[in-house]
Amino acid sequence: MSSPVPQTASSPAPSEREAHRLQAVLDALPVPIFFKDAAGAYLGFNSAFERYLGIPRERLLGRTVFDVAPPDLAAEYRDADDRLLRTGGTQMYETRVQGQDGTRREVVFHKAVLPDPGGETAGLVGAILDVTAQREAERARATALESVRAAQHLAALGTLAAGIAHELKNPLASVLSNVELVAGRLRELRDARRAPDLDAAAEALEDALEGAERMRLILRDLRTLTRPDDRVDGATDVHALLEYAAALASHELRPRARLAWDVEDVPPVRGGEGRLGQVFLNLLVNAAHATPEGNPAAHPIRLSARRRACGKIEIGVRDSGEGIPAEHLPRLFDPFFTTKPVGVGTGLGLWVCRSIVTAAGGSIEVESEVGRGTTFRVILPAAEDEPAPPRRGGALRRSVRDLIERG
């Protein structure tokens, strides 16, 4: 049976050896670690903590945060320490630490109480995780994503420009020809100084007014799409939303497909009309591009809306086009991924759609089969607690009445 190792006068006591060993372990760790007593004075720390603060050991031991940090940060640290000492357990929060050069870095503090041998709270131990680089990367990514969204928005507007010009061309021609007719009749009245039957002139003016109204609606929809301060948490009428998207996509749809309208009477959904309009405009244009030109009657694109059992609203866009290969589906919403030929599309449309829908508290589902078509389902929360938006009149429906099949 072995006996304990004898201690000499020059040998350190076991507790001293343990303290040296513990300090060596702490110093080997790259994460700044510290511990304090219940009054907030530093009892110890590792080398990484000294390096991180840029303050030598002798200026830290026995000091408090008010001796080593700016007053605003010191008060924040002390308040957090007091809460932890009162409640016990662990604590994690994000704040800043100021170095000796005055630079403030973003950090996450992880702390826990230290009990004494009797189980009472004697102090606390903490570690510092520097998240400055991570937060800067997140901010840069958010800025980049916003720039990409803006670029995609502009790209969508560019795609629509030709269609909007086409939509305005016919009603504008009607306005001009009918106004010219009325002007000619009025000139005749002036020259003859008589008052013949003015029915033809009145009918021409009615046609001119209808054409002008169509142009006004197109411009209104364009303003809605480009509105920069569109609310994420507003309420949007589903019928008006889909009619609005169909009207803007009509120049892409007419040569390829007809819309089958299967939209139930559902409550408004949460989300801004402009942003959600961009989502369904994109889905409709994608559905049109997946459908061959030349025989619209044979290729319906079905727009549907219903209320799910969970209370959310499901809005579907289903085409009978070429479909998407199964291996592409997992990447469909990745930025810059596209199944279109090189030079056609940016690969950002569906990614932007998902970003908008997610911001509104919703989600997007997709099913596809090669040769049979694709279905996108946008799931959005109902906005029954929001004031119902006013329903648009029949003028917008008339602008796409040759495109939509109800039922």
β 373-380/363-369 pair status:
antiparallel
Residue 281 burial (CB < 10 Å; 0-12/13-18/19+)? Answer: buried
Find out whether 257 and 319 touch, Cβ atoms under 8 Å.
yes
pLDDT confidence tier of residue 253, bands split at 50, 70 and 90: confident
Query: Is the pLDDT reported for residue 394 higher than 90?
Result: no
DSSP 339: S
pLDDT digits (tens, 9 = 90+) for 344-381: 555 667 887 888 888 888 899 999 888 889 999 999 99
Query: Which value, in Å, is the radius of gyration of the alpha carbons in the chain?
Result: 35
The pLDDT of residue 405 is 54
- In 3-state terms, the chain is what percent helix, strand and coil (to 5)? 50, 20, 30
Which tops the pLDDT comparison, 294 or 403? 294
Query: Is the pLDDT reported for residue 201 higher than 90?
Result: no
Query: Is the pLDDT reported for residue 218 higher than 80?
Result: no
The pLDDT of residue 396 is 45
Query: Is the pLDDT reported for residue 299 higher than 80?
Result: yes
β 269-270/235-236 pair status:
antiparallel
Across the range 264-287, mean pLDDT stands at 88
The pLDDT mean for the chain works out to 79
pLDDT confidence tier of residue 14, bands split at 50, 70 and 90: low
SS3 labels along 117-180: CCCCEEEEEEEEEECHHHHHHHHHHHHHHHHHHHHHHHHHHHHHHHHHHHHHHHHHHHHHHHHH
Q: Which of 38-47, 96-105, 207-216, 320-329 has the lowest mean pLDDT?
A: 207-216
The pLDDT of residue 1 is 38
Rounded-to-integer distance, Cα 23 and Cα 282, Å: 61
Q: How far is CA 128 from the centre of its chain?
A: 31
pTM higher than the cut 0.75:
no
Per-residue tokens: 43: 């009892």
pLDDT digits (tens, 9 = 90+) for 313-353: 999 999 998 888 888 888 888 776 776 665 455 566 788 78
The pLDDT of residue 338 is 73
The pLDDT of residue 4 is 40
Rounded-to-integer distance, Cα 114 and Cα 123, Å: 5
Across the range 191-218, mean pLDDT stands at 65
Find out whether 259 and 246 touch, Cβ atoms under 8 Å.
yes
pLDDT confidence tier of residue 247, bands split at 50, 70 and 90: confident
Across the range 125-147, mean pLDDT stands at 85
